[in-house]
Amino acid sequence: MEKEKCYLWHDIARSPFMNMAVDELLQDEAMLLGAPVLRFYAWDIPSASFGYSQKPAAVTRTAGLTLVRRPTGGGVVYHDVDMTYTFAIPAGNRLCELNRMDSYKVIHEPVMDALTGLGTGAHLEPDLGIKHDRATLQCFVSPSPNDVMDSAGAKLAGAAQRRTRKGILHQGSVVITSLPPRKIVIAALQEKFEEMLAYTYEPFPVREEFIAAAENLAKNKYSTEKWNEYAEVGDDL
């Protein structure tokens, strides 16, 4: 397979609202750059994110836990025991030609291989035809087809996507409680993405204007009650 450019960003820990704002704007950056962007990041306070179509009442209101609604779907993800990454894939990219489940599989196969290499005995969850209530599910309690599972049937990695005319926004999470330190997990994922997706990495150009725009979006959208308490806030998700 011919090598494809991918912009790589090892980001700092940010607030839950800033993390979601950055991810949303990465879709535009990927379109501007004409190549996928892979971002690894962390959360600067105890946080949980929940899917765009979920009911806020389905999220456990743990004391001291800051909640944020993602721009993608999926269930509740608690970010005290996970490592998060995002792919922003521009329209016209080969992954955009795949349907949702196939694109999940293509991205999760490198995740599975990376975690297997770290001693987990990982495999992909088969499609058993089981349907979940997307409004109430918890992501790591209710595995979906092509999620990454360990040999005991526990979920190790999952993801959610937003697909628009701009391309695919893929937000992924890996449980790291039984894995080596975070930096080792990130290095393993980075290597397998490069190998199996045929990427050649270039540093993501972080512009001051981009960060300023993300801060504005975090303040005026992702930190607001309107966004986090009501689902009817957009028309392209």
What's the pLDDT tens digit per position in 8-38? Answer: 999 999 999 999 999 999 999 999 999 999 9
Domains belonging to the chain, first-starting first, are 4-129+138-229 (3.30.930.10)
> Does 200 score more than 90 pLDDT?
yes
Integer Cα distance of 165 and 28 in angstroms? 11
Beta carbons within 10 angstroms of residue 121's beta carbon: 11
Query: Please, what sign has the CA dihedral across residues 92, 98, 104, 110?
Result: negative
Q: Which of 104, 91, 99, 108 is nearest to 168 (CA)?
A: 91
- Mean pLDDT taken over the chain: 89
Which pLDDT value is given to residue 80? 85
* Contact in structure between 193 and 199 (CB atoms under 8 Å): yes
Q: What integer pLDDT is reported at residue 152 of this predicted model?
A: 86
Q: Which residues face 226 on adjacent strands?
A: none
Question: Distance (Å, rounded) from C-alpha 46 to C-alpha 108?
Answer: 26
